[in-house]
Structure 1
Amino acid sequence: MEVVNTFMTWIFKNRIGQINNFKENPIAIQEEILFELVNEAKRTEFGKKYSFSEMKTYADFASKVPIHDYEQMKPYIEMTMKGRQNVIWPTDIEWFSKSSGTTSSRSKYIPVSQEALEECHFKGGKDMLSMYVNNYPDSKLFSGKALTIGGSLSSNPLSNESSSKVGDVSAVITHNLPIWVQMARTPSLETALMNEWEAKIERMAREVMDENVTSISGVPTWTIVLLQRILELKGANNILEVWPNLEVFFHGAVAFGPYRGLFKELIPSERMRYMETYNASEGFFGIQDQKDSDELLLMLDYGIFYEFIPMEEWDNEHPKVVPLTEVELGKNYAILITTNAGLWRYKIGDTVKFTNLHPYRIKISGRTKHFINAFGEEVIVENAESAIQVAAEATHATITNFTAAPVYFGDSKSKGAHEWIVEFNKLPDDRERFINLLDEELRKVNSDYDAKRYKDLALTAPRVHVVNEGVFESWMRSRGKLGGQNKVPRLSNTREYVDEILQMIKPAQAS
C-alpha cells in the first residue's frame, strides 16, 4: 500500500500548478469562463431569449440577463426534468440535485450536467485531495479507505425515463464516480445510496467498522451519529481504537465550530486534521487551502462565473451587483452564480465575506433567509455559531444541534428577546454562565445586537431551552427532512421552527 500511497500523492500534487494559475490570474480566468458559458449556450432556448450571440462584454451580460431565484428558474428546470433538452444548457441533463430549500417550494431540483459533474464537482474533490497532500506531504491517506457519508437517489418525479434521477448532491456524485474511486471508498455503493436513514446508519456502521479508514467525508451531524454507533458496536472508547490510521475529516454543509469539541472527544488526537469544503447542490465553490486558517479559497476555474450582491442591496427591486473585481474585504455579500449546468445569474441563498483578495478567499457568513432581524439587530448565522462555540468551550459543553428565533413584544410593556433551543451531547458545567457567555459574545461580534441589548432597552437576555438528544432528529423526521442535504435551520426571523419543536417535546425534556 505504500507504493500506491506514494503514486497517488504524486498524481494529486500535479494539480497545484493549475490552482496557482487561477490564484495569480483570477479576473482573466473568470472572464474566459463567462464567455465560454455564453458561447456554449447561445443556441439554447434561454440563450436565444436573452440574445447571448450579441454579447461582447460583461456589461452586455449583466444588462441583458436578469437575476434569478429558484422560483424564476423553476419553469426552465421543470421543462428539462420532463425531458425537454437544450432549454438552459446545450448538452443533455438527466441528473438533478434535490435540495431542501428556503423558497416556497418544498424541494428544489438543481440541474447537474455532465460538465458540472466532471469540471466542477469531481474537480473539486480532486483539488481537495491535492491541497491536502500538498500541505501534509507525510500523509498516508491513500493507504486505506475513504469513508463517504452521502445521501440517497430516487426517480425523477417529472419523467418516465429510468435514466433520469434526483437525489442529494453527494448521492449524485457518489453514483457517478469512476470505478477506481469506487474501489478506494467505503461503504458499498448500495449502502451509500440507501434512502431510509436509520437503517442506513446501522448498515454503514457494520460495513465500515472493520475497514482501514484513513479519511472521512461528510456533514458533521450525520458523521457524529455514525461514529457513535460504531463505538457502541465495537465497545470502544474512541474512534482511534477502531481506526488507528484515521488522519482527516473533510467536512462541509454546516459550520464546524459548534461540533469541534465533540469531534475531539470522539477522535482524541492532536494529529487528527480537519479540512473544510464549500460544496453545494449548485456547485463546488471553495476549499480550505491553508493548514492554519479556516478561510476558503474561492475556486475560479470550475465552469462557474461569480457575481455578488451587497447585502444592504438585497431587498432592493434592482439591487446593485458587483463582479469579482469590485468586491471589498469584510463586506457581507449574497452570491450569484452562472454555471455549466444552466443556472444563469442565480441566487443560491448563501452569503459570504471576503477575507483576502490576493488570492480571493472567503468565509461563509450565513444565508440570505436564515437570520434574526426582528428588532434591527441583524444577527446572522456566522454570529450565532461563533457565540455558541465560545460559550460551549468555556463551559466544557459539546453541542449536537441548535436553532434560535425572536420572541416578539407581547404588549407595550414587554420587551423582545431571542429564544434558543439547544441540544447538548455534554451539558455545560454552569448553565447560567453558558447563557451569559452566549449573550456576551453576541454583543461582541454584532454591534447592532449590542445596541439593542443596552440596558435591556429593546432586547432582554436570551432564553435558552435545553432539550434531550434526539429531539432535532425527531423534528426533522416529522417534517420529512431527515438525512442528506437537509440541515437544521440555525436562525429564523419567524417562530415557526421554534414553536414546532417546543410543541412536540414533553415538558420534562425542555428546561
Structure 2
Amino acid sequence: MATKMLFNTVVNWFIRQRIDQIQNFIKHPIETQKGVLFSQLYKAENTIYGKKYGFRDINNYQDFSRQVPIVSYEDFEPYIERARRGEKDVIWDGSIRMFAKSSGTTNAKSKFIPISQDSLENCHFKAGKDLVAIYANNHPDNTLFQYKNLRLGGSSELYEDFNTKFGDLSAILIENLPFWVEITTTPSKKTSLMSEWETKLKAIVEEVSKADVSSLTGVPSWMMVLLKKVLEETKMTTISELWPNLEVFFHGGISFVPYREQYKQIIGKSINYYEIYNASEGFFGIQDQSESDEMLLMLDYGIFYEFIPMDKFCSENHQAIPLEEVEVGKNYAMVITTNGGLWRYLIGDTVVFTNKEPYRIKISGRTKHYINVFGEELMINNVETALSKACEKTGAEITDYTGAPVFMSESQGGAHEWIIEFSQKPNEMSLFAQVFDDTLKQLNSDYEAKRYNNMTLNPPIIHCAKPNLFYDWMAHRGKLGGQNKVPRLSNDRSYIDPLLKMNG
C-alpha cells in the first residue's frame, strides 16, 4: 500500500508539470513548431543529409521548404540503409542503433524506420507519459495506478543486422521501457517478446486472465480477438465480470467506429475510450477530451509538421504548407520532419483539422488507401461514417471489411465492391446497402455526382464474409498480430480478389 501511495504521489506531481507544458504549446503553437524545426536543423547540420541540403544556411521556413525536398520512403531509403549499416552522421547526429520494421510500401517491401535515442525518449516515451497525464487530469478519481495496464503489441522479437537492431516498434519500446513500467503492465516482458502469434495469444490469455486490469492499450481489432479469447477461457459473460476495475481503453492504429458497439457489449459496462495517433515514424496525437473523438496535435515531441492539401496531392510538384496555414475541414496529407532523422517525409496518412484553437485533428485515411478510379475521392472517414449509420439502422455489427473498384467494361459500368465480415448480420441486407450508399452520397459530393442515375457508378456490391475470413486471410499473409492492419480501401483489386476467392 505504501508503495502504491508513493507511486501515486510521483505520478500526480508529474501530471501537474506536464499539463502546464501542454498548455504552453497550446497557447504558443507556431512558436513551438518553429523551435522544433530549428532545433532539428541545428542538431543535423553536420550530417551527410544536412550538408547536402545546406541546413546551416536555412534561416526561415521558406528556406527550408525551398532547399529540402519532400520525400517518400523510396526516395529516402538509400540514406536509411546507410544508417542501418552502421554509418554515423547520415540523417541524424551520431549513430542510429534501432529501426522499426514496418510493412507495406508500394514495392511490397518492408520499411525500416529510424528510431534515434532522441525520438525514443522525447517522442514515443514522452507520449506514453502524456497519455497517462491527460487521462488522469481529466479523471482525477481514477484508479489507473493501482492495477494493471494490459498492452497488446505486435510481434515483439528483435533482430540484429549490421550491428543495429530492427523489429516492430512495440519490440523496441518493450526492450527499452523503464523497470517501473514492467511492474504496472501485463502481460510480462517475457510473454510480450514471444514471436509466433497463435502461441503468444494463448500465453497472453493465460497470464492476463489472472491479473486485475484497469486499462487496455492496443489496436481495436486485435484487442477484440484477445478479449473474446479471454471470455472463452474464463467462461465469463462480460469482461467487467473478470476485471471490475477496468475503466479505460487507449486505442489506435485503426478507426474505432466499427467496433464501438461491440466493445460496449463485450465489456458489459460503461468505460472511457481514448484515441491515440502513433506510428513507427512518431507519436502525433492524443485525445485530450473524454467526450470527443478529436485528437490534440502534440507539438513538442521533436516533430515538425507540414501539410499538402489532398486536392493538390497528385500534382508532380508537391506544395506543402506549415501549421499556421491549414484550414478546418480540409483533407491534408501529412509531411513530418522528426528527431529520428526523417526530413520532410510523406508518412502516407491524411488528416482533417477540426479546430485551430487548439490544433485538433481526425485521421481521415491514407494517401494510398482510397478509391478514386472514377473521380469519387472516397476516403476512409466517409466509409466508416456510412457503415456506422447502416449498422445503426439495421442492427448490424462489423468485424472487418475492405472495398475496391469494379472497373468499367463494355458490358458493365463501374461500381464499388465490398466484402464485410459481420459479428451481427443486418436484419435487412438491402436496407443496409441502401443506407450505406445514401450516406456516402450525403458525405461526399464527388461520390454523389458519380452515382447520379448510375451514369458512372452503379450501386455498391456487398458480400457477406464467412466467419473469421479476415483473420484467416491475415494468417495466410503472415500478418497476424497487433501491429498489422486490414487494408480498408484500395484503388485496385489486389486485396479484395484473394478475399473473395477464399470466401468461396
When normalised by structure 2's length, the TM-score is 0.97
Unaligned runs of 5+ in 2: none
Q: Quote the offset at 1:18 in angstroms.
A: 0.1
Q: Deviations over 1:438-492 (max 9, x none)?
A: 1111111111111111222211211111112211111112222222422111000
Q: Specify the alignment match of 1:348 in structure 2.
A: 347
C-alpha distance 360-415 of structure 1, shift in aligned 2 (>3 A) = same
1:118-137 equivalences in 2 (<5 Å): 118-137=121-140
Partners of 1:198 and 1:26 in 2: CA distance: 45
Which of 433, 436, 439 matches 2:434? 436
Q: Specify the alignment match of 2:393 in structure 1.
A: 394
Give yes or no for the alignment of 1:93 onto 2:91.
no
For residue 448 of structure 2, give the secondary structure of its aligned residue in structure 1. helix
Q: Specify the alignment match of 2:84 in structure 1.
A: 81
Q: Specify the alignment match of 2:205 in structure 1.
A: 205
Partners of 1:460 and 1:337 in 2: CA distance: 39
Q: Specify the alignment match of 1:104 in structure 2.
A: 107
1:1-80 equivalences in 2 (<5 Å): 1=1, 3-4=5-6, 6-7=8-9, 8-80=11-83
Q: Quote the offset at 1:53 in angstroms.
A: 1.3
Q: Say if 1:121 and 1:284, in contact at 8 Å, map to a contact too.
A: yes
For residue 15 of structure 1, give the secondary structure of its aligned residue in structure 2. helix
Q: Deviations over 1:91-121 (max 9, x none)?
A: 3211111112232142111000111011000
Partners of 2:160 and 2:492 in 1: CA distance: 31
Q: Specify the alignment match of 2:454 in structure 1.
A: 456
The worse-fitting range, judged by mean Cα deviation, of 477-486 and 139-148 is 477-486
Q: Say if 1:4 and 1:142, in contact at 8 Å, map to a contact too.
A: no
Q: Say if 2:217 and 2:251, in contact at 8 Å, map to a contact too.
A: yes
For residue 325 of structure 1, give the secondary structure of its aligned residue in structure 2. helix
Q: Quote the offset at 1:155 in angstroms.
A: 4.7
Q: Quote the offset at 1:416 in angstroms.
A: 1.3
Partners of 2:16 and 2:237 in 1: CA distance: 36
AA in 1 matched with 2:344: R
C-alpha distance 307-215 of structure 1, shift in aligned 2 (>3 A) = same
Q: Deviations over 1:421-454 (max 9, x none)?
A: 1111121222221111111111111111111112
Partners of 2:421 and 2:53 in 1: CA distance: 49
Q: Say if 1:261 and 1:393, in contact at 8 Å, map to a contact too.
A: no
Partners of 1:155 and 1:212 in 2: CA distance: 29
Partners of 1:158 and 1:165 in 2: CA distance: 6
Which of 148, 151, 159 matches 1:148? 151
Give yes or no for the alignment of 1:169 onto 2:169.
yes
Give yes or no for the alignment of 1:196 onto 2:196.
yes
Q: Quote the offset at 1:156 in angstroms.
A: 4.4
Q: Specify the alignment match of 1:291 in structure 2.
A: 290
Partners of 1:363 and 1:71 in 2: CA distance: 27
Q: Specify the alignment match of 2:471 in structure 1.
A: 473
AA in 2 matched with 1:166: F
Q: Deviating runs (4+, > 3 A) in structure 1?
A: 153-158
Q: Quote the offset at 1:169 in angstroms.
A: 1.5
Q: Quote the offset at 1:3 in angstroms.
A: 2.3
1:261-410 equivalences in 2 (<5 Å): 261-270=261-270, 272-410=271-409
Q: Say if 1:151 and 1:167, in contact at 8 Å, map to a contact too.
A: no
Q: Specify the alignment match of 2:225 in structure 1.
A: 225
Q: Deviations over 1:184-206 (max 9, x none)?
A: 11101111122111111111000
Q: Deviations over 1:4-43 (max 9, x none)?
A: 5642344324310000000000111110110110000011
Q: Quote the offset at 1:173 in angstroms.
A: 1.3
Q: Say if 2:157 and 2:168, in contact at 8 Å, map to a contact too.
A: no
The worse-fitting range, judged by mean Cα deviation, of 448-457 and 291-300 is 448-457
Q: Deviations over 1:239-282 (max 9, x none)?
A: 01110000000000000000101111111212x01000001110
How many aligned positions are there?
501
Q: Say if 2:402 and 2:488, in contact at 8 Å, map to a contact too.
A: yes
Q: Specify the alignment match of 1:423 in structure 2.
A: 421
AA in 1 matched with 2:274: M
Q: Say if 1:70 and 1:103, in contact at 8 Å, map to a contact too.
A: no
Q: Specify the alignment match of 1:509 in structure 2.
A: none
For residue 496 of structure 1, give the secondary structure of its aligned residue in structure 2. coil
AA in 1 matched with 2:335: L
Partners of 1:154 and 1:205 in 2: CA distance: 19
AA in 2 matched with 1:212: D
C-alpha distance 146-51 of structure 1, shift in aligned 2 (>3 A) = same
For residue 482 of structure 1, give the secondary structure of its aligned residue in structure 2. coil
For residue 97 of structure 1, give the secondary structure of its aligned residue in structure 2. strand
Q: Deviations over 1:60-105 (max 9, x none)?
A: 1111111110001111111111111211011321111111223214
AA in 2 matched with 1:208: V
C-alpha distance 505-267 of structure 1, shift in aligned 2 (>3 A) = same
C-alpha distance 206-303 of structure 1, shift in aligned 2 (>3 A) = same
AA in 2 matched with 1:473: Y
Q: Say if 1:97 and 1:168, in contact at 8 Å, map to a contact too.
A: yes
For residue 130 of structure 2, give the secondary structure of its aligned residue in structure 1. helix
Q: Quote the offset at 1:154 in angstroms.
A: 4.1
For residue 151 of structure 1, give the secondary structure of its aligned residue in structure 2. coil
Q: Say if 1:100 and 1:485, in contact at 8 Å, map to a contact too.
A: no
Partners of 2:145 and 2:160 in 1: CA distance: 39
Q: Specify the alignment match of 1:245 in structure 2.
A: 245
The worse-fitting range, judged by mean Cα deviation, of 335-344 and 104-113 is 104-113
**What is the Cα-based RMSD across aligned positions, in Å?**
1.4
Give yes or no for the alignment of 1:500 onto 2:503.
no
C-alpha distance 255-482 of structure 1, shift in aligned 2 (>3 A) = same
Unaligned runs of 5+ in 1: 507-511
C-alpha distance 340-154 of structure 1, shift in aligned 2 (>3 A) = same
Q: Say if 2:105 and 2:111, in contact at 8 Å, map to a contact too.
A: no
Q: Quote the offset at 1:394 in angstroms.
A: 2.2
Q: Quote the offset at 1:137 in angstroms.
A: 0.9
AA in 1 matched with 2:473: W
Q: Say if 1:81 and 1:156, in contact at 8 Å, map to a contact too.
A: no
Partners of 2:390 and 2:296 in 1: CA distance: 28
When normalised by structure 1's length, the TM-score is 0.96
Q: Say if 1:279 and 1:286, in contact at 8 Å, map to a contact too.
A: yes
The worse-fitting range, judged by mean Cα deviation, of 356-365 and 51-60 is 51-60
Partners of 1:131 and 1:505 in 2: CA distance: 44
For residue 366 of structure 1, give the secondary structure of its aligned residue in structure 2. strand
Q: Say if 2:157 and 2:193, in contact at 8 Å, map to a contact too.
A: no
AA in 2 matched with 1:138: D
Q: Quote the offset at 1:181 in angstroms.
A: 1.0
Partners of 1:170 and 1:361 in 2: CA distance: 26
Q: Quote the offset at 1:157 in angstroms.
A: 6.3
For residue 341 of structure 1, give the secondary structure of its aligned residue in structure 2. coil
Q: Quote the offset at 1:328 in angstroms.
A: 0.8
For residue 478 of structure 2, give the secondary structure of its aligned residue in structure 1. coil
